[in-house]
C-alpha cells in the first residue's frame, strides 16, 4: 500500500528501536558467474536441488528465480565490445613488445619519439583494444528485491509473509497455507510455490544469520564482492560512487536499478548496478507495487454499494407511498 516516501518499512511494521535497514547491492560489473552464491544459498537454507538442465541460455542452467532457486545467476551473451574505458594515457606510439624484448624496458632501442621506423609500421604491434572482440558476457546474480512497498505482504491472508526488524520480507513456511495470492502480486515474479508441497518460498536474506550478526551466505561466498551486504543507506552511497567511477571511465551504459526510493515500489532492499537496460537481464523496467490501486478500488466499490442501497431504499419508499 502507499506510504510516506522514505519511511522505513520496519517503522511501519511497528518495530521500536530496530537496527538499520539492511540490504544487498549487487555490482554486476564484477560478477564472474561462478555461481558460488547459488550454491551457498542452497547449502545454508537447505533449498532442494533441482534439475541441472541445459537451458540453451549460455551457462545458465537454473533459468530464473523460483521456489528452489533463491539466487539465479544470469548469463547474457552480446555481440558488442565490453565498453570503452578511457585510461587517460595513450601508448599508441610505443612498441611495447619491442620494449619487453629488451628485458629491462630500457629505452635505448626504443624510438625517442615513440615513432617506429617507416618500414616497421604495423609490425609486431600490440592488438588494439577495440579489435580484440565483439563479444561480451553480462553476468548478474538475481534475488528477491525485499521491496519497500511489498505487495506480497498486502495480499497474504495468514501473515505467513512478514516484515522483519531489518526491513526485509520473510516467508514463514509453517504458516503458509499455499493459497498462492502472493505469486501474481510480486512485480518481479520472484516468489513461487514448491511443486511437492504447494507452499510459497523465496529468499529470506538469511534471516537467521542476520539475527546472529552474520552476513547472508551468498554475500559471504561471493569471491569478487559483486554481492555486497550492509546497511542500505551505506550501500546506496557505495553504489553511487561506483557508478561515477564507471561512467568517468567511459562505461556510459552503467546504471543503478532499484536504488531510487521514489520508484514504483518505494525502492528495493536489494538493488543492482547494471551494464545495460533492465530488460536485458529479465528485469521489469518500471516495476510498480501491484496493490497500489486497491484502496481506490475499495472506495469505489463502497460508493457503488452505497448508491445501490440508497436507490433500493428510495424505490421501496416510493412504492409504499403509491399504494
Domains in the chain: boundaries: 17-81+131-289, 292-322
pLDDT (0 to 100) of residue 131:
52
Q: How far apart are CA 118 and CA 116, in angstroms?
A: 6
Q: Quick one: fold of 17-81+131-289?
A: Alpha-Beta Plaits (3.30.70)
Q: How far apart are CA 54 and CA 85, in angstroms?
A: 34
Please tell me whether 179 is known to bind a ligand. yes
Please tell me whether 321 is known to bind a ligand. no
Set of cell numbers at residue 154: 498486502
Please tell me whether 163 is known to bind a ligand. no
Q: Is 280 exposed, middle or buried (0-12, 13-18, 19+ CB in 10 A)?
A: middle
Please tell me whether 34 is known to bind a ligand. yes
Please tell me whether 37 is known to bind a ligand. yes
Please tell me whether 203 is known to bind a ligand. yes
Please tell me whether 54 is known to bind a ligand. no
pLDDT (0 to 100) of residue 91:
58
pLDDT (0 to 100) of residue 321:
78
Give per-10-residue mean pLDDT for the chain (323 aa).
65 93 97 95 93 77 91 88 54 64 52 42 45 76 96 94 97 94 95 92 97 96 97 97 95 94 94 96 93 72 84 85 76
Set of cell numbers at residue 13: 511494521
pLDDT (0 to 100) of residue 51:
64
pLDDT (0 to 100) of residue 111:
46
Please tell me whether 262 is known to bind a ligand. no
Amino acid at each position: 500500500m502507499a506510504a510516506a516516501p522514505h519511511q522505513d518499512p520496519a517503522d511501519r511494521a511497528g518495530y521500536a528501536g530496530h537496527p538499520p535497514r539492511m540490504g544487498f547491492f549487487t555490482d554486476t560489473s564484477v560478477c564472474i558467474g561462478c555461481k558460488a552464491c547459488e550454491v551457498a544459498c542452497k547449502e545454508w537454507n537447505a533449498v532442494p536441488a533441482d534439475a541441472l538442465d541445459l537451458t540453451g541460455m549460455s551457462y545458465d542452467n537454473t533459468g530464473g528465480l523460483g521456489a528452489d532457486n533463491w539466487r539465479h545467476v544470469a548469463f547474457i551473451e552480446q555481440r558488442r565490445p565490453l565498453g570503452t574505458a578511457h585510461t587517460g594515457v595513450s601508448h599508441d606510439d610505443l612498441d611495447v613488445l619491442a620494449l619487453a624484448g629488451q628485458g629491462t624496458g630500457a629505452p635505448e632501442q626504443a624510438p625517442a619519439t615513440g615513432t617506429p621506423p617507416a618500414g616497421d609500421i604495423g609490425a609486431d604491434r600490440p592488438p588494439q583494444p577495440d579489435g580484440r572482440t565483439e563479444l561480451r558476457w553480462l553476468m548478474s546474480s538475481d534475488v528477491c528485491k525485499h521491496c519497500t512497498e511489498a505487495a506480497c505482504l498486502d495480499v497474504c491472508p495468514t501473515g505467513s509473509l512478514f516484515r522483519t526488524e531489518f526491513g526485509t520480507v520473510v516467508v514463514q513456511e509453517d504458516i503458509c497455507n499455499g493459497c498462492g495470492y502472493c505469486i501474481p502480486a510480486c512485480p518481479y515474479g520472484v516468489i513461487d510455490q514448491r511443486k511437492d508441497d504447494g507452499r510459497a518460498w523465496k529468499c529470506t536474506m538469511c534471516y537467521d544469520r542476520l539475527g546472529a550478526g552474520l552476513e547472508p551466505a551468498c554475500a559471504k561466498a561471493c569471491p569478487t564482492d559483486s554481492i555486497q551486504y550492509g546497511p542500505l543507506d551505506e550501500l546506496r552511497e557505495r553504489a553511487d560512487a561506483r557508478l561515477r567511477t564507471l561512467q568517468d571511465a567511459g562505461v556510459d551504459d552503467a546504471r543503478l536499478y532499484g536504488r531510487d526510493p521514489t520508484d514504483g515500489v518505494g525502492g528495493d532492499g536489494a538493488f543492482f548496478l547494471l551494464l545495460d537496460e533492465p530488460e536485458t537481464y529479465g528485469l521489469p523496467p518500471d516495476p510498480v507495487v501491484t496493490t497500489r490501486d486497491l484502496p481506490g478500488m475499495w472506495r469505489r466499490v463502497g460508493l457503488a454499494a452505497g448508491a445501490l442501497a440508497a436507490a433500493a431504499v428510495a424505490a421501496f419508499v416510493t412504492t409504499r407511498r403509491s399504494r
